[in-house]
Amino acid sequence: KQEVTQIPAALSVPEGENLVLNCSFTDSAIYNLQWFRQDPGKGLTSLLLIQSSQREQTSGRLNASLDKSSGRSTLYIAASQPGDSATYLCAVFTNDYKLSFGAGTTVTVRA
Amino acid sequence: EAGVVQSPRYKIIEKKQPVAFWCNPISGHNTLYWYRQNLGQGPELLIRYENEEAVDDSQLPKDRFSAERLKGVDSTLKIQPAELGDSAVYLCASKVPWGGGELFFGEGSRLTVL
């Protein structure tokens, strides 16, 4: 069974600092990995999707890397803003069409 | 283009009462998921549909939970009777069939069982 871990569970940084969020998974036979953002009381918003053949994906201030062999992905958010405060979840889609989520990292960006 | 639509957004019921949640996926998304999310945790799969077929319902508590997707579009998730431990957010998500396409979520239905 795929296990997805996100460490740390919570992170607080001053505005302007770069954010580094980690995601690890136990089964490297993945189809893709997706990063989501979740605001309190809301659904999940897709941020980036990385296919298993890709090493990274970028969208604006967001960059996600994938190292399938070591079972790791990292989400970088440059020059953080208070509006980046949210919970960030990673989800791994395995070759048997199962999607497994981490518990998320809750980020607070202090103004 | 409309996203995944869920209703109701909030529901408060007494234990042992029934409750139903509705989901309308993105047009053309034949794969539909129902997830349950408890506070501080990631979503957990309840059921996955490919068109009308429930291809993975191994984690659906079938004694009290049921789901249907009669025409391969809208889906309904029902709980009867509800228990205190069912209080959670029920999330619907959709994507293009099979494969590894991007997954899109609705806003969720927050259930409180008293």
> What tokens were used for A25?
């998974």
> Chain A closest CA to B55's CA: distance in Å?
10
pLDDT at B1: 65
Reading phi first (left if > 0) and then psi (alpha if -120 to 50, else beta), residue B72 is in: left
pLDDT at A98: 83
Q: What is the mean predicted confidence (pLDDT) over B45-49?
A: 94
Among A88, A64, A89, A73, smallest CA distance to A26 is for A73
High-pLDDT (> 90) share of chain A, %: 86
pLDDT at A53: 92
> What tokens were used for A23?
């995601």
pLDDT beneath 50, residues of chain A: none
pLDDT (tens digit per residue) in B54-95: 999 999 999 999 999 988 899 999 999 999 999 999 999 999
> Chain B closest CA to A33's CA: distance in Å?
9
In this predicted structure, the answer to whether residue B46 has a pLDDT above a threshold of 70 is yes
Q: Specify the amino acid at residue A26.
A: T
pLDDT at B25: 96
Chain A residues with a Cβ under 8 Å from any Cβ in chain B? 4, 31-32, 34, 36, 41-46, 49, 51-52, 89, 91, 93, 97-99, 101-104
Identify the DSSP state of B86: G
Chain B residues with a Cβ under 8 Å from any Cβ in chain A? 4, 6, 33, 40-45, 48, 55-56, 91, 93, 98-100, 102-108, 110
pLDDT band at B98 (very low <50, low <70, confident <90, very high): low
pLDDT at A50: 94
